[in-house]
Amino acid sequence: MQRRNLLFSLIFSLGITLVGTYIVLIKPPTHRIAMELRNAQVFIEPTVENVQEGYFQTSVEDAFSDQFIKRSIFIEMYYRFEHFLYNLSLPNKEDYTLVKIGNDVFTFPVNEDYLTGYPLIKNEGQKKGVERFIDHVNEMAEAHPNLHFYVFKPFRINESNWFDEDNGFTSYGQIYRNMMIEGFSDEVIYSDNQPETFEEYKEEYYKTDPHWNAYGTFEGYKDILKMFENHYGEMVPYEPVSEFCFENFNFYGQYGRNSAYLTSCDKFCDLNYDLPEYKTYVNGKEERYDRKEEFKNNQMEEFYWNYIYSVYHGNDEAEVIFETNQNTGRNLLVFVDSYSSPIKHLIAAHFDKTYYIDPRINPGFDFESYLVENEITDVMWMGFYGSLYTDESYIFDDEKGE
């Protein structure tokens, strides 16, 4: 007993002392935590001021966590255990019962690696938003009969009605979609990307992120060209010439990060196209929009702590202009959100100039003068339901917000 007590005391005391000493005094500090997209807290020197304010104490507590030995492994172990508990608790493995696993993130037993937000349910505000958006685009089209108007909506999994039966509710995603299909006037062409089945969805969208993947983007691109064909005759889409996937990193999308569902990750793939040459102007400056070269050259270190989808394809920017020298006589203005990032260059390949405006971060945008100054021939709204149904930035009249 005495030997056991001695041994146990030594193991515990030496263990905590050595670990503590290593973390504080020996271990080279970690400066960035890639998974959480933030700077790591390091140990700081105490001063009278920072101790009095309590900042020193807080920073030491944070630093102990951030600098802990093999922190990421501890976190991964924790989430693997959580994942195990989720599996243990999931009801009928064949159904779509929604299981909340994070901040507005749900999974469902039929394929637990796929994550979703809560389905759209009946919401008067949202319904009014849809009506308002439809009226607004119709009015714009009526006011500018010489321009072509389009609306394109990429899909989001919580718009589907796949979960209705197993969860005992009626979702409104498809009802709002039907309102869009039926509500636009003849002058406005509407289309959307609408996977009919979950299997189709799996092909075109990420597991851990609401955005479309490279294959979904290609489908969306073809759908968009079909809309243009209504005015310009046949438009042949550029076909992908090759595809590649990054093998050296896993993509954790928004749903993945918000739920810390680390055991589920996506492979990040892209398709190569042989497109006409183009120049890009980001917020007035000529510069490259995407960071594909850096990724392909394995120079990704500096991007690790960013949202890879955005960095790779190009960030949300107030204004991005793609310029080709094709003399098509067509200039397109597109109001976009983040779904446009991987498709911008594809659409632009069919116009002389394509102007991408993200109204959420371009509050001073003047619709009428922009049309005139840039000789716009076609106008398109392209965004997911949240942008089109409820975000007033996409409404360009004086009455918004009233």
Partner 1 sequence: MVFSSLTFLFGFLPLVLICYFIIPNLTYRNLVLLVFSLAFYAWGEPKYIILMLISIIGNYVLALFVDFYNKKGNQKLKVLFFLLDVLLNLGFLGYFKYTDFMIGNINALFGSNIPLMKIALPIGISFYTFQIFSYVIDVYKGSVKVQKNPLTLGTYIALFPQLIAGPIVRYETVEEELSNRKETFHDFAEGIRRFLIGLGKKVIISNQVGLIADTIFALEGESLGLSLAWVGILAYTFQIYFDFSGYSDMAIGLGRMFGFNFLENFNYPYIANSITDFWRRWHISLSTWFRDYVYIPLGGNRVSKLRWYFNIFAVWFLTGMWHGATWNYILWGLYFCVILVLEKMFLLKVLNKCPGVLRHIYALLLIIFGWVIFRCEDLTQISYYLNALLGANGNNTIRAFYNISVAHLWPYLVLAAIGSTPLMGKILKWMNKNAFTGILYDLFLLGVFFVSVMFLVNNSFNPFIYFRF
- Interface positions with partner 1 (CB under 8 A): 1-2, 4-6, 8-9, 11-13, 16-17, 19-21, 23-24, 35-38, 51-52, 54, 57, 60-62, 64-66, 68, 71, 74-75, 77-79, 82, 85-86, 88-89, 91, 97-103, 106, 167-168, 210, 254, 257-260, 307, 316, 337-338, 360-361, 384, 386-387
In the complex, minimum distance from the CB of residue 370 to partner 1, in angstroms, rounded to a whole number: 22
User: What letter represents residue 271's amino acid?
Assistant: L
| Dihedral sign (CA 261, 262, 264, 270) | positive
Residue 188's H or E segment, with its range, is strand 188-192
In 3D space, the residue among 139, 119, 297, 113 whose CA is nearest the CA of residue 207 turns out to be: 113
Report the residue number, 9 or 272, with the smaller CB distance to partner 1.
9
Pair of tokens at residue 39: 């700077």
User: What three-state secondary structure class fits 328?
Assistant: coil
In the complex, minimum distance from the CB of residue 5 to partner 1, in angstroms, rounded to a whole number: 4
Report the residue number, 21 or 325, with the smaller CB distance to partner 1.
21
Q: What is the DSSP letter of 21?
A: H
Judge whether 204 and 212 are in contact, CB under 8 Å: yes
Report the residue number, 228 or 381, with the smaller CB distance to partner 1.
381
In the complex, minimum distance from the CB of residue 44 to partner 1, in angstroms, rounded to a whole number: 14
Counting Cβ atoms within 10 Å, is residue 132 exposed (0-12), middle (13-18) or buried (19+)? middle
In 3D space, the residue among 303, 312, 251, 244 whose CA is nearest the CA of residue 115 turns out to be: 251
Report the residue number, 75 or 265, with the smaller CB distance to partner 1.
75
Nearest-angstrom CA–CA distance, 100 and 89? 12
In the complex, minimum distance from the CB of residue 40 to partner 1, in angstroms, rounded to a whole number: 10
Report the residue number, 210 or 216, with the smaller CB distance to partner 1.
210
In the complex, minimum distance from the CB of residue 188 to partner 1, in angstroms, rounded to a whole number: 24
Report the residue number, 34 or 235, with the smaller CB distance to partner 1.
34
In the complex, minimum distance from the CB of residue 9 to partner 1, in angstroms, rounded to a whole number: 5
